[in-house]
Amino acid sequence: MTESNSRKIQYLAGICASLTFVFTGATLSWPSPAIPKFKSGEAGLEISNEQTSWVVSLLSAGALPGCYIGQELSERVGRRRTFLLSSVPGLLGACIILFTTSPILMCIARFMIGLTTGSVAVVTMIYITEIADKEIRGALGMLVQVMNNLGSLLVYGIGPFVSYTVLNSMIVTIPIVYALCCLWLPESPYYHLKDGRIAAARKEFKFIKGSEDEKWIDDQLSVIRIHVKESMENKTTAKELFTNVKYRKAIYIVGGLKFLQYMTGILLIQSYLEVIFRQSSSVSGPRASIVYGVVQLIAGIGATFLTRWCRRRILLLVSCFGVSVAMTTVGVYFYLQDKLQVSQDTLNSISMLPLAGLIGFNILYAIGVGNLPYVIQAELFPVNVKAVASSSATQFACILSFLVQKFYVSTKEMFGNYTVFWSFACIGYLGVVFIYFCVPETGNKTLEEVQDNVVDASEGVALRNYKDDNEEKNQTIGPHSC
């Protein structure tokens, strides 16, 4: 049996599972064409700038409890059923937006949509990393960003040119489509082994791997079974996750990467893209948004292949530095326009700078910072804390997302657009240092190897600290006791 045939189910399952992120990308990008329709009166509702900021940001606020719901569902009913159940609040929220003209109801609907995006953010990466071979785990993990970009492109490419009703109708159909695609998904063998269902785990493992070699299946499953058993014997809570020293290094790494992922500007750009282009003297907002969306999708697809050829740390370093340079460039344009107020002729001569900067950001973000934190997050934690850790990491990301989206307008009005973009750039430059010194290489390693290395390193630090404390006590307390 060839490699492509044996992994056919893994690729197909990974694609179907990652389709959930089409809804995430579409709903995050929805404000970009919707806000101009609010201002023009096309949407048929009266909404202030403050109310608009709440409508935009409450999706991230809803994702916060959504992460917890996704964690609990994935542990109690399985990964597959979580995909199906998570589509319900998102579908209901999208229907409310389709039919309401009340800003308050829109805020409630966006919160409900956030419940779905938070749930799938937790379960999708857990599922993909558990079913995929180590050689393709990175590429399949990168698919979530590709699907996120596809959802954004649908909104950027269609939203500005159709009515407000058609835009919202398109959002309604997405959770229906992804739920139907997930109906056939095989359950993760890890989920069955966690609860001691060995026969069910073997059946799913055989189907996913596409192999008829019974001995190989038994050997591979026994390795996973031992690892899951050891992990579940130490099954823990969120409190244990944050207090146990052996998880500390993984927490630092994932927390730092999540901070970089969400505090270098992606959600601001995704939600306010057309508005940003309208504020600059570049090409028209709708057309620029389409260009941005197409490049974003292509860059995401290209990034899935780069993970097969390039080391992940290198991709993260290049991505983070490039993102920072791009944000610096966009900030320079707005500094010249808003702070120095240079002549219109000068602005016309550099009118393509915002578009070039944002497209550069788009490409460089996709190859590392935008994708790899999802993969590494799911790789570093063992199965006994994976759901808790993924939920906590995503909740942290939701808090960051809410802050960025909610306070962008007020920060821009107080300090100028250039301050916002240069702040993102500074965070990115600091992130390069963090990645270089703190983030390990996880490519081409099994989940067991990755987790053992991180745990061993954390325990080694704890042991060294313990020895240092004892030596210090011997040097300070011992002599004075004599």
Q: Between 453 and 473, where is the model more confident?
A: 453
> Is the confidence at residue 19, as pLDDT, over 70?
yes
Of 121-135, 270-284, 356-370, where does mean pLDDT reach its minimum?
270-284
Give pLDDT, residue 174: 94
Task: Give the residue-averaged pLDDT of 221-244.
Answer: 76
Task: Give the residue-averaged pLDDT of 335-355.
Answer: 84
Question: Which of 176-185, 351-360, 366-375 tops mean pLDDT?
Answer: 176-185
Task: Give the residue-averaged pLDDT of 185-210.
Answer: 87
Q: Rounded CA gap, 312 and 310, in Å?
A: 6
Domain annotation for the chain: domains and CATH numbers:
3-200+207-474 (1.20.1250.20)
Count the residues in the chain: 482
**CA nearest neighbour of 82 among 188, 217, 165:** 188
> Is the confidence at residue 448, as pLDDT, over 80?
no
Cβ(21)–Cβ(151) below 8 Å: yes
Mark 67-89 as b/e (b = at least 16 C-beta within 10 Å).
Answer: bbbbbbbbbeebbbbbbbbbbeb
> Is the confidence at residue 313, as pLDDT, over 50?
yes
Of 58-72, 267-281, 458-472, where does mean pLDDT reach its minimum?
458-472
* pLDDT classification of 133: cutoffs 50, 70, 90: confident
**CA nearest neighbour of 268 among 416, 103, 403, 427:** 403
Q: Rounded CA gap, 19 and 173, in Å?
A: 13
Of 71-85, 132-146, 202-216, 401-415, where does mean pLDDT reach its minimum?
132-146
> Is the confidence at residue 153, as pLDDT, over 60?
yes
E strand spans, 332-445: none
Of 34-43, 279-288, 426-435, where does mean pLDDT reach its minimum?
279-288
Give pLDDT, residue 225: 84
Q: Between 379 and 319, where is the model more confident?
A: 319
pLDDT averaged over every residue in the chain: 83
Cβ(189)–Cβ(34) below 8 Å: no
Q: Rounded CA gap, 55 and 211, in Å?
A: 49
> Is the confidence at residue 394, as pLDDT, over 90?
no
> Is the confidence at residue 482, as pLDDT, over 60?
no
Give pLDDT, residue 455: 60
Of 54-63, 167-176, 201-210, where does mean pLDDT reach its minimum?
201-210
Give pLDDT, residue 324: 95
> Is the confidence at residue 263, as pLDDT, over 80?
yes
